[in-house]
Amino acid sequence: MSFVQCSGLKKTYSVGGEEVKALDDVSLNIEHGDFIAICGPSGSGKSTLANVIGGLDQPDQGSVMVDGIDLANAKDSILSEYRNKKIGFVFQSFNLQAHETTLENVIAPLTVAGVGKKQERRERGMKALERVGLSDRAKHKPTQLSGGQRQRVAIARALVNDPQLIIADEPTGNLDSSRGADVITELKRLNAEGITLIIITHDASVAAQATRIIEIKDGKIVERAGTK
Amino acid sequence: MKFIDQFRTGLRNLARQKLRTSLTIFAIVIGAVSVTVMLSLVTSTKSFLVSSSEKIGMDTQVIVTGTSGLNYRESQWIGPDGSGKKIDADVLAAVEKLNNVQSATLYLAGSMFDSYKVDDQELTMKNVGVEGYTPNGTIKHILIAGSELSDSSNGSGVLISSDLASDLGFKGNETALIGKDVSFHYRKDMGPPDAPKADEVGKIIGVTSSDRGSVLSVDLDWAVEFQTWPNPQNNQNNQNNQNNQNNQNNQNNQNNQNGQNNQNGQNNQNNQNGQNNQNEQTQDQSQIDRMGYGSIWVSVDQKKNVDGVLSEIKQLGFGAAAGKEEIDSQSTAFTIIGAILGGIGAIALLVAAIGVVNTMVMATLERTREIGIMRAIGATKKTIRRLFRVEAGVLGFTGGLFGVILSYGFAIGLNQILNKQLADSGITDRDIVSISPQIALIVMLITTMIGMLAGSLPARRAANMDPVEALRYE
Q: What is the mean pLDDT of residues B107-133?
A: 87
Beta strand ranges found along B9-98 (DSSP E): 61-65
Look at residue A68 and tell me if it is in a domain.
no
State the average pLDDT for chain A. 90
Q: Give me the pLDDT at residue A18, please.
A: 85
Contact A95 B376 (CB under 8 A): yes
Q: E strands of B324-416, at which residues? A: none
Judge: A112–B370 Cβ closer than 8 Å, yes or no: no
**Which ranges in chain A belong to alpha helices (H)?**
46-53, 76-85, 102-106, 108-113, 118-131, 147-159, 177-192, 204-207
**pLDDT attached to residue B262:** 41
Q: d(Cα A160, Cα A121) in Å, to the nearest integer?
A: 9
Strand segments, DSSP code E, in B171-266 are 181-186, 200-208, 215-219
Report ipTM for this prediction.
Answer: 0.92
Q: What average pLDDT does the segment B80-106 reach?
A: 88
Rounded Cα–Cα distance for residues A77 and A67 (Å) = 17
Percent of chain A with pLDDT over 70: 97
CB within 8 Å: A109 and B378: yes
CB B463 within 8 A of CB B374: no
CB contact under 8 A, A76 and B372: no
Please report residues of B whose CB lies closer than 8 A to that of A84: 377-379
pLDDT band at residue B401 using 50, 70 and 90 as cut-offs: very high
Q: Is residue A99 part of a domain?
A: yes
pLDDT at B195: 67
Q: Treating both helix axes as pointing N-terminal to C-terminal, what angle do B323-366 and B18-55 enclose, rounded to 10 degrees? A: 170
**Least trusted range by pLDDT, from B54-68, B207-221, B420-434:** B420-434
The whole-number pLDDT of residue B274 equals 41
* Predicted local confidence at residue B330, as pLDDT: 86
pLDDT computed for residue B51 by the predictor: 84
- Picking from A194-208, B14-28, B139-153, B186-200, which range would have the lowest pLDDT averaged per residue? B186-200
Q: Are A195 and A165 within 8 A, CB to CB?
A: yes
pLDDT bin (cut points 50, 70, 90) of residue B434 is confident
Residue B281 in 3-state DSSP?
Answer: helix
CA atoms within 13 Å, Cβ hemisphere of B381: 14
Of B323, B324, B317, B326, the C-alpha closest to B95 is B317
Asked, for residue A98, whether it belongs to a domain, the answer is yes
Instruction: For residues B185 and B180, give the distance between their C-alpha atoms in angstroms, rounded to a whole number.
Output: 16
- Quick one: average pLDDT of B276-290? 53
Mean pLDDT of all residues in A120-146: 92
User: Which regions of B125-250 does DSSP assign to beta strands (E)?
Assistant: 129-133, 143-146, 157-161, 181-186, 200-208, 215-219
CATH code, domain carrying A46: 3.40.50.300
Of A56, A80, A108, Cβ closest to residue B468 = A56
Question: Rounded mean pLDDT of chain B?
Answer: 83
Q: What does the pLDDT read at residue B284?
A: 45
Q: How far is CA A190 from CA A80, A89, A114, in A?
A: 23, 13, 25
N-to-C CA span, chain A:
22
How far is C-alpha B248 from the geometric centre of its chain's CA atoms?
64
Contact B396, B354 (CB under 8 A): no
B4-8, B257-261, B362-366, B369-373: least confident range: B257-261
Q: Which of A13, A57, A69, A80 to mutate to test the interface with B (most CBs of B within 10 A)?
A: A80
Using CA atoms, how far apart are residues B133 and B427, in angstroms rounded to an integer?
Answer: 23
Span B230-250, pLDDT tens digits: 655 554 544 454 455 544 444
**A40 vs B422 pLDDT, higher one:** A40
Number of domains in chain A: 1
Distance from CA of A128 to the nearest CA of B (A): 15
| Nearest chain A CA: its distance from B396 CA (Å) | 24
Counted across chains A and B, CB pairs separated by less than 8 A come out at 64
Q: Are A73 and A95 in contact (CB under 8 A)?
A: no
- Digit-coded pLDDT (tens) for B10-56: 888 888 889 999 999 999 999 999 888 888 888 888 888 888 888 88
- Is there a contact between B471 and A95 (Cβ–Cβ < 8 Å)? yes
SS3 B128: coil
What's the CA gap between B299 and B58, in Å, rounded? Answer: 9
| B210 vs B305 pLDDT, higher one | B305
Of A145, A154, A100, A104, nearest to A125 by C-alpha is: A104
pLDDT tens column, B308-336: 999 999 998 899 999 998 888 888 888 88
Question: In sequence order, what are the residues at sequence separation of 6 or more whose Cβ sits closer than 8 angstroms to the Cβ of residue B193?
Answer: none
pLDDT > 90: percent of chain A? 58
In a domain, A41, yes or no: yes
Neighbouring C-beta atoms of residue B330, cutoff 10 Å: 15
A30 has a pLDDT exceeding 50 = yes
Residue B400 pLDDT exceeds 90? yes
A89 lies within 8 A of chain B by CB: yes
Q: Which of B51, B45, B37, B141 is nearest to B431 (CA)?
A: B45
Burial A103-118 (b: 16+ CB within 10 A, else e): bbbbbbbbbbbebeee
- How many Cβ atoms are within 10 Å of B195's Cβ, its own excluded? 12
**Structure confidence at residue A43 (pLDDT):** 85
- Please determine, for residue A76, whether its predicted confidence score (pLDDT) is greater than 80: yes
Give the lowest-confidence range in A13-27, A116-130, B75-89.
B75-89
| DSSP codes of every residue in A184-210 | HHHHHHHHHTT-EEEEEES-HHHHTTS
Q: Dihedrals φ, ψ of A7, to 5°?
A: -140, 120
Q: What is the mean pLDDT of residues B448-456?
A: 93
Q: What are the phi and psi torsion angles at B80 (to 5°)?
A: -75, 110
**β-pair type (A196-201, A165-169):** parallel
Range of the domain at A41: 33-58+83-225
Structure-model confidence comparison of residues B461 and B288, the more confident one: B461
Q: Is residue A92 domain-resident?
A: yes
pLDDT at B271: 42
CA pair distance A153, A103, nearest whole angstrom? 8
CA distance A123 to A107: 9
- Residue A11 inside a domain? The answer is no
**pLDDT category of residue B258 using cuts at 50, 70 and 90:** very low
Query: Distance from CA of residue B165 to its chain's centroid?
Result: 20
Q: What is the DSSP letter of B394?
A: H
Q: Provide mean pLDDT across the span B106-121.
A: 87
Q: Is residue A24 part of a domain?
A: no
Whether pLDDT at B255 is above 70: no
What pLDDT band is residue B142 in, cutting at 50, 70 and 90?
A: confident
* Alpha carbons B427 and B430: distance in angstroms, whole number: 8
Phi, psi of B466 (to 5 degrees): -70, 120
Distance (Å) from the alpha carbon of A224 to chain B's nearest alpha carbon: 26
- Judge whether residue B351 has pLDDT over 70: yes
Report field, pTM of the whole predicted structure over 0.90:
no
Which pLDDT value is given to residue B81? 67
Nearest CA among B252, B242, B310 for reference residue B273: B242
Helix or strand holding residue A217 (H, E):
strand A212-217
In this predicted structure, what is the pLDDT of residue B3? 87
Q: What is the pLDDT of residue B335?
A: 86
Whether A38 and A216 have beta carbons less than 8 Å apart is answered as: yes
Residues in chain B within 8 Å Cβ distance of A83: 375-378
Question: Which residues of B are less than 8 Å from A161 in CB distance?
Answer: 378
The SS3 assignment for B5 reads helix
